[in-house]
Structure 1
Amino acid sequence: MNPSPSSIIFGKAWLYCTVFLTGAAVMVIELLGTRLIAPFYGASLYVWTSLIAVTLIALAIGYYLGGIWADRARSGLSLIIAASGLLTLIIPWLTGPVLLATDPLGLRLGSFVSTLILFSPSLIMLGMVGPFAVKLSTSALANVGASTGSIYAVSTVGSVIGTLFLGFYLFPLVGSREIFMGLGVSLLILAMAVAWIERKYLNKSITTMVPTALLMAIGLGLYPAIASSGEAEFSNTFQTRFERESLYGWVRVIDKPKENIRLLTADASTIGAASISHGENLLTYQKIVAQIPHLSSNIEKALLIGQGAGHMVATLNKAAIVTDTLEIDLAVAEAASKYFDFIPTGDRIIGDARYEIRQLKGPYDLIILDVFTGGTEPTHLLTVEALTQLHNLLSEHGILALNFVSFLDQGKNPALASVSRTLAQVFSHQQIFISDPGSDFNDFIFLATNHAINLNDDLIPFSDRTWLKQRLLDIDTTHGTILTDNHSNLELLQIRKSEHYRRMIVESIGTRHFIR
């Protein structure tokens, strides 16, 4: 007997709804994956590469296994979805142990292996949904090509909607751990609905309902344990004053009372440090800012890109310099005001620098580019094109100050050489200073101008001249490359730096500081 039109429509509807929702779940897991991994390994190209590769690997395996299962058994779609829900639900709970176990593998291999362990099981199960749905759709519609195309089209549309909904609406309002748990529970509920349809309309065995219900019960039972695992655990050595998961990272203010230190961190980077008792700046490299007003006359207006805790604004304010600040993360700006007493002296801009600097008019007498910290680096801000944009905002005698964290390597580090060669494409003069002459791993301050800076100028106080000359540096640019929007290998050149910096932070604060 041929199926009725209503049953055909219902068969399409529930299948399309299922693949739409599971398609959305795939992208939610992929996008949220970086928010669990980034605090530990950084939101670098390697983390994103690992997530994309693992997603594709898992889906390929899921498509293959799903096709085999669908050919051998006409029931089980609800069980597949339920398994994906449970595996998604436990991801936040497994994150800590997995990241700790993969830590010795280093940045690239560690991020890939941890991503593979955490996300591939649930993604494999979600990948199995498509072939199973095609099998069910084909038996009802007897049109293999159209059925397959429509199933995967709807699944892809679900992925698109899931991506937009997560990025534009859900994530700004809800934390990543809560989204993971909500997604897991939602998949379990979907599995229950599919099991009911399989039993009532497709005449499948009731046994599919039993494991689905069991998995859901186990998953919901795990919820309190998973939720509690996200609580911050600090000894009396550390006190978390502020914690916010923003669109760009995990922002924290951490006090170390015994050492009289207050830290502002974003994921695995320390972007501000001050004494708890008096609030004075503890980052040595920022002391050079106090010297800059002596290097050029009539500096009245400055732009700081990468506000951090805002100490440089206060320093410039002492020299009667008004400073506009540009910070990508609203949570960082909030923490700076509340816990580091940051008071803006100029315009306060929140946004991505490459976009926002196109909106600025200038001119600025001084631009400070302070975004290349010990952690993940926004390499798109250190290219010929980006520096040209900043150059166009400078006044005739303006100065660009750029802070860069790396190794000295006896002046032969290719990363430092690349920065220098790239600056030379835009500015005719540059001078390089090292923050701590006694250390190989260091902050390096590049001053780029279109005019020569004379450190022997009598306008510069003698003590400042001495301080600067002791830190003046020559580097070998032979092995450097010119960084452009089209090609930048800066992340590759800075792998050793990123791993060394993370080890330093781990020794100072502890590994669990970076685990969500």
Structure 2
Amino acid sequence: MNNRPDRKLPRRVRRLSFFDKCVFYGTVSITGAAVMMVELLGTRIIGPYYGVSLIVWSSLLSVSLLALAVGYYFGGVLADRKTIFRLPHAVFFAAVTISLIPLVSEAVQIFCNPLGLRFGALSSAFILFTPCLVFLGMAGPFVIQMATQQVEDVGSTSGSVYAISTVGSVFGTLLLGFFLLPLFGTHAILLVLSLLLACLAFGLAIYTNIHRRFSVATLAVVVFVGGSAVWQLQNGARGGAMQGYEVLFEQETHYGWVRVVDQPKKNIRWLMSDASTIGAEDNRSGRGLLAYQAVVRLLPWFKPGAKKALLVGLGAGHLVGDFQRYGVQTDAIEIDPAVAHAAREFFDFQPTGKVLVGDARYRIKQLDEQYDLIVHDCFTGGAEPFHLLSQEMIGELKTKLKPGGILAVNFVGFTEAEKLKPVKSIALTLDQNFAYRKTYVAMPEEPFNDFIFMVSDAPVLLSEHPAAENVAHWLAPREFHINAEGGELITDDYNPLEYLQMAKAEHYRDVLVARVGESILFR
């Protein structure tokens, strides 16, 4: 008699066919790429309105991680249950919700604006991107359930799904950042991505034998979104007149959304990058209109005989022309090639020295000459690039100054004592590198102002030329005495400026809307 317990016979399994692998792994690679592309494009959707800052990135990353977690959970729950909602539905609704983002983004951001910079950006990101990321997150659990239904090696199959999804994310990130974004607008890319997902949903519906009516609905979405994408690619790359404005030039680059906008009623031409005005001129005279430039263009009076200057942040290039009138040849560094192009084509910028395109930290290290004057004028997206204001960066600029040379730093902030800490922090950081400092404001009596710091290793004094008396008389009410005590030293390791400048960023956005109009912040 056989007393041994009965043994279960091994379950018959089969390996996934090559076609099955193409379907499953292709699905997760495409949806993985879509996740990262939506995340990255999110900064271009809400960046022009809220500024591209740590606040916006934190909002997008938090929303993305939360939405994916919800998608993973409910995708797993639905995958194990015999419901009508399956993988093709998840991909289909991801396509639909992505296609809606360009249509509702403006209304959503205006609706969330009363919540302020932090919660406005977070709420906008949550409303716009949560739905599509939840559906994209569902794809992985569905694919794992389908792929492991008929195979025994569940662990290796699940690992392969996650690995290939991650590789797809990497591919999507590189494809978007290296190739697509500089060539096409955000809305066009979103619509093409939606079209690709709709086509994928249609193919999955056929593969899984989903009801015919779903396939027809998916095909209808493919046709609609495809038509919208073609229209965007052909017509959406350039804007037209918007509420009294005429967009003359528009280009989306790695660094921002650059536009040249005419305001005929005021005869003003604006150069904008994301949510910042980085250049403005009178269309009749061609003279620069940004208030701080009236102070900075007088810099040669503090350094008689100056021959060479360096401008960090080109803008519309007006300062180059201003310095040329004093016989000063100016090299310029500009991170965004579209800004340099716009300055030449639309603001009659005529270089008097080299124009170097690239990040200032990198380019300055490569410079092998010294200057009499350096102007640090970097402001974009409603915020300063704070890595350019650290003690280390200021020290690097000092090495490019000739003995007795002057560094001028433009910084936006408030003049009220209770809001002066960011300005004091810049003053303290400059004082760590230079023995002498003078500070001016662009508009006396205005609480929100451009601060122009002039620092040197020699006393910062006006020329003794008789004509300098008029300059001294004009500058006198603009001199602003700042005690750096109470400020925080800004370093590469510790840089709290973005937090300290929160109130400034919110106020600047309000000023921009009042000056240029809310519609200018949207595509």
TM range (shorter): over 0.9
Change (3 A) 1:222 1:146: closer
Residue in 2 aligned with 1:156? 166
With normalisation by structure 1, the TM-score equals 0.94
1:274-332: per-residue Cα shift (whole Å, max 9, x none)?
A: 11111111122112233221212331111101101111000100111110011111111
Give secondary structure in 2 for the equivalent of 1:142. Answer: coil
Counterpart mapping for 1:332-343 below 5 A: 332-343=339-350
Specify the alignment match of 1:53 in structure 2.
62
Give the structure 1 partner of residue 82 of structure 2: 73
User: How far off its partner does 1:239 sit?
Assistant: 1.9
TM normalised by structure 2 equals 0.93
Give the counterpart of 1:416 among 407, 419, 423. 423
Q: State the distance in 2 between where 1:129 and 1:373 align.
A: 38
Contact (CA 8 Å) 1:35, 1:176: kept in 2 or not? yes
Q: Is the 8 A contact 1:373 1:405 kept in 2?
A: no
Tell me what 1:192 maps to: 202
d(CA) in 2 for partners of 1:4 and 1:116?
A: 43
Map of 1:85 onto structure 2? 95
Counting only pairs closer than 5 Å after superposition, residues 77-476 of structure 1 correspond to structure 2 as 77-199=87-209, 206-207=210-211, 209-218=212-221, 220-221=223-224, 232=239, 234=241, 237-372=244-379, 375-410=382-417, 413-455=420-462, 457-458=464-465, 461-476=468-483
Query: Post-superposition shift, 1:11?
Result: 2.5
Confirm or deny: 8 A CA contact 1:95 1:118 kept in the other structure. yes
Q: Distance in 1 between matches of 2:226 and 2:509?
A: 31
SS of equivalent to 2:331: strand
Q: Secondary structure of 1:344's match?
A: coil
More displaced, 287-296 or 223-232? 223-232
TM-fit CA distance, 1:94: 1.3
Equivalent residues of 1:295, 1:460 under 8 A apart: no
**Offset from partner CA, 1:50-73 (integer Å, 9 cap, x none):** 111111001000000000000103
* Contact 1:374–1:501 (Cα < 8 Å) also in 2: no
What is the CA–CA distance in structure 1 between the aligned matches of 2:22 and 2:221, rounded to whole Å?
29
Kept in 1, the 8 Å contact 2:51–2:274? The answer is yes
Partner of 2:18: 9
Q: In 1, Cα distance between the equivalents of 2:414 and 2:483?
A: 13
Deviations, residues 400-427 of structure 1 (Å, cap 9, x unaligned) = 0001111101486001000001111111
Following TM superposition, by how much is the alpha carbon of 1:359 offset from its aligned partner in structure 2, in angstroms? Answer: 0.9
Q: CA RMSD in A?
A: 2.1
Letter in 1 for 2:220: A
SS at match of 1:121: helix
1:325-378 CA-to-partner distances (Å, cap 9, x unmatched) read 111111111111111110000001111111111111121111100113681220
Corresponding residue SS for 1:280: coil
Q: Distance in 2 between matches of 1:14 and 1:273?
A: 53
Change (3 A) 1:224 1:41: farther
Cα distance per residue 1:454-494 (max 9 Å; x no partner): 34845771111222222211123232100111111111111
CA contact (8 A) 2:280 2:289 kept: yes
Of 10, 30, 40 in structure 2, the residue corresponding to residue 31 of structure 1 is 40
Aligned-partner SS, 1:398 = strand
Paired residue type of 1:380:
H
Contact 1:41/1:111 (CA < 8 Å) preserved in 2?
yes
Alpha-carbon distance in 1 for matches of 2:456, 2:329: 20
Residues 240-296 of structure 1, C-alpha deviations (whole Å, 9 max, x = no match): 222222221111111222212111111111111111111111122112233221212
Cα separation, 1, equivalents of 2:189 and 2:454: 44
Percent of aligned positions that are identical: 43
Shift of 1:397: 1.4
> 8 Å contact 1:384–1:423 — kept in the other structure?
yes
Q: Aligned to 2:378, what secondary structure does the other structure show?
A: strand
- Asked if 2 retains the 8 angstrom alpha-carbon contact of 1:252 and 1:264, the reply is yes
* Unmatched tracts of structure 1, length 5 or more: 200-205
Q: CA 1:237/1:195 → structure 2, altered by over 3 Å: closer, same or farther? A: closer
Correspondence for 1:203: none
Retained in 1: the 8 A contact 2:267–2:283? Answer: yes
Q: C-alpha separation between the residues in 1 aligned to 2:306 and 2:219?
A: 65
Distance 1:223 1:193, change over 3 A: closer
Q: Structure 1 counterpart of 2:68, which letter?
A: L
Q: Partners of 2:55 and 2:305 in 1: how far apart?
A: 44
Is 1:507 equivalent to 2:514 in the alignment?
yes
Distance in 2 of aligned mates of 1:30 and 1:95: 14
What is the alpha-carbon distance in structure 1 between the residues aligned to residue 385 and residue 258 of structure 2? 17
**Cα distance in 1 for residues equivalent to 2:172 and 2:242:** 39
Judging changes above 3 Å, is the alpha-carbon distance between structure 1 residues 247 and 235 closer, same or farther for their aligned structure 2 residues? closer
Shift of residue 218, structure 1, vs aligned partner: 3.7
AA paired with 1:104?
Answer: P
Q: 1:113 to 1:455 in 2, by over 3 A?
A: same
Name the structure 2 match of 1:480: 487
Describe the shift of the 1:34–1:290 C-alpha distance in structure 2 as closer, same or farther (beyond 3 A). Answer: closer
CA distance in structure 2 between the aligned counterparts of 1:384 and 1:71, rounded to whole angstroms: 57
Give the counterpart letter for 1:210 in structure 2: R
Secondary structure at the aligned position of 1:389 is classed as helix
2: CA distance, partners of 1:59 / 1:311: 47
Q: Aligned equivalents of 1:263 and 1:109: distance in 2?
A: 29
Letter aligned with residue 26 of structure 1: V
Q: For the structure 1 residues 59 and 236, does the alpha-carbon distance in structure 2 shift closer, same or farther, using more than 3 Å as the test?
A: closer
Amino acid in the other structure paired with 1:78: P
> 1:411–1:475: 8 Å Cα contact kept in structure 2?
no
Aligned residue for 1:140, secondary structure, equals coil
Aligned length, in residue pairs: 508
Q: CA deviation at 1:515?
A: 1.3
- How far 1:142 sits from its partner (Å)? 1.6
The answer to whether structure 1 residue 495 and structure 2 residue 502 are counterparts is: yes
In the alignment, the residues of structure 2 paired with residue 24 and residue 250 of structure 1 have an alpha-carbon distance, to the nearest angstrom, of 23
User: Residues of 2 paired with 1:388 and 1:319: CA distance?
Assistant: 27
Residue of structure 1 equivalent to 2:6: none
8 Å Cα contact 1:411-1:474 kept in structure 2: no
- Cα separation, 2, equivalents of 1:57 and 1:412: 35
